[in-house]
Chains A and B, each alone.
Chain A
Amino acid sequence: MQEAVGLPYYQEDFIAETGLDFSFMFVIFAGFLGYEATEEDCAEYAEHIGNPDFPVFADGEKRLHDATPMNGESHPEVCAIGPDMTILECWSGHGSVETALDKIRETAGLL
């Protein structure tokens, strides 16, 4: 959770640096009580990360595990997605966000 709290600031800095159209999106599998995430969990999560306007989605059925290379074995899981919805790359574990942002820089020809 602590890492996610800082991401809105990462977003602002990344856009300012690269000029790219970019945003984070959050997907939560389990809610605050450990059950399948709900709309209410998403709203609460958005408040926790400090920006209620950030897109937060509930995926209690873990459909994104079928739609990406991720498998839920460790958290968080991070995927960089291109403008045409191509999966650029995915990683597991804390600290993956910087790697994902570098992948976007590389794909956009900025590295």
Chain B
Amino acid sequence: MHSPAIVSVLTLLAAGCGSDKGEDATAACDETSDADADGLSDCEEEALGLDPANDDTDGDGLTDSEELDCGTSALDADDTCYTCGWGKNDPGNIQATGAEVNDVMENVALIDQCGDRVNMYDFAGAYHVMYMTTAG
């Protein structure tokens, strides 16, 4: 199951497949076929620049579909999902402004319970209450 945002992107891409405008570029894509059985149709994979015959185009151990779900690039083996499953939601245009109320906080990277160093900006897009304390 893809996130709503991913489904929207895939829907738009699929809509372009086989249309008059994109006929030449996507003539070979097949919306009903999923040759590598990764959950993305051959048409979707071609539109995204992925290999329809390889369920892990960048060879990083995650399927193309898994990478789309967690917001990483299926074309970049160094861009992998967080082990704990947090999405990579940094929109890329957030600018820290300070450390006071009404400032945009710094993109602090902290270790999570799965051992990954996680950027706080990957939690953008939702409200959060940050509860800071000691374990003992």
Which residue numbers of A lie inside 8 Å of B, CB to CB? 1, 4, 7, 20-34, 37-39, 41-46, 52-53, 55-59, 63-64, 66-70, 75-90, 97, 100-101, 104, 107-108
Which B residues lie within 8 Å of A97 (CB)?
Answer: 129, 131
Whether the Cβ atoms of B131 and A25 lie closer than 8 Å is yes
Main secondary structure of the interface of B (DSSP, over half): loop
Which A residues lie within 8 Å of B99 (CB)?
Answer: 66-69, 87
Main secondary structure of the interface of A (DSSP, over half): mixed
Q: List 19 A-B contacts (CB under 8 A).
A: A1-B133, A22-B126, A24-B131, A25-B123, A27-B110, A43-B113, A55-B112, A56-B113, A58-B110, A66-B106, A69-B99, A69-B100, A78-B131, A79-B129, A81-B105, A83-B124, A85-B120, A97-B129, A104-B127
Which B residues lie within 8 Å of A20 (CB)?
Answer: 126-127
Whether the Cβ atoms of B94 and A85 lie closer than 8 Å is yes
Instruction: Give 7 nearest A-B pairs by CB, closest first.
Output: A42-B113, A21-B126, A57-B110, A76-B133, A43-B113, A30-B134, A67-B106
Whether the Cβ atoms of B132 and A29 lie closer than 8 Å is yes
Q: Counting CB contacts under 8 A, is B37 at the interface?
A: no
CA distance A100 to B106 in the complex (A): 20
Whether the Cβ atoms of A81 and B127 lie closer than 8 Å is yes
CA distance A23 to B135 in the complex (A): 19
Whether the Cβ atoms of B134 and A24 lie closer than 8 Å is no
Closest to A43 in B: B113
Contact partner of A81 among B86, B110, B128, CB < 8 A?
Answer: B128
